[in-house]
Amino acid sequence: MSTSINPVLKTIMELSGIKFSVNRNSEVINEIVGLKNKDPNNGRKYIALFPGVDITPGDLLVDAKSREEFFIIATEHEYADGQWFQERAYYGTQEEYTELCLLSAPATETDQPGLIIDYMSYLDSLIKIKSSGSGQDFSALLPEVEKILSGNEISRGRLTEYSELLRENEWLTTALGTILVSWISR
């Protein structure tokens, strides 16, 4: 896939782009141009960015003029006609952001019940953000993941009945993989 900048996106950013400072780990790491937007299909709010911009969940974008803060909780590439068109940096509430930062911070404790609550809360928040308006039912998956984390074994095929849901939602598969690897490596 090409990472060249689409002329339409370039023009839109030149005419209407907003300058943001990128804060990571409480430190300004970059200045970028982006545009506030909303997905018409599910209503999720995001900042549209040029492809290849270094943005990750947990970053804080601050509007250079208004000083408005945007708490980045997820990112996603958007493709158009086989080209990486833009980066989407989804933003959420300060509570969602704080939760994400706590989950991704190195654990200083090994309190398993607390970790399970953190993992489940993160997964629940992510599902609310990413699946808003999709009509898919994720409710049965959460208790199953909690059972896996509460037990001492992860067995092959444990999530077989959710394979279609996981196949249709790559972000969910990635999140579960991250959670499970983090869990078993403690």
Q: Which of 44, 69, 92 is the last residue of a domain?
A: 92
What does residue 14 show for φ and ψ, rounded to 5 degrees?
-65, -40
* Number of domains the chain contains: 2
For residues 137 and 164, membership in a common domain is answered with yes
- What pLDDT, on the 0 to 100 scale, is given for residue 108? 44
99: in domain: no
pLDDT of amino acid 150? 84
What is the extent of the structural domain holding 68? 7-92
Residue 98 lies in a domain: no
Q: Is the pLDDT of residue 69 over 50?
A: yes
CATH number of the structural domain spanning residue 56? 2.40.10
User: Based on the domain organization, do 71 and 47 belong to the same domain?
Assistant: yes
Indicate if the pLDDT at residue 28 is higher than 90: yes
For residue range 177-186, list pLDDT tens digits in order.
878 877 776 6
- Which residue in this structure is represented by tokens 């839109």? 12
Model confidence over 105-115: pLDDT tens digits?
554 444 566 77
Residue range 109-122: mean pLDDT, rounded: 69
Predicted confidence (pLDDT) per residue in 134-147, tens digit: 777 888 888 888 88
At 100 the pLDDT is: 63
Mean pLDDT, the chain, whole residue set? 82
Residue 97 located in a structural domain = no
Q: What is the DSSP string of 114-161?
A: HHHHHHHHHHHHHHHHHSTTS----TTHHHHHHHHHHSS---TTTTGG
Last-in-domain residue among 92, 118, 151: 92
| H-only helix segments in 6-132 | 7-16, 94-104, 112-130
Q: Does the structure show a pLDDT above 70 at 1?
A: no
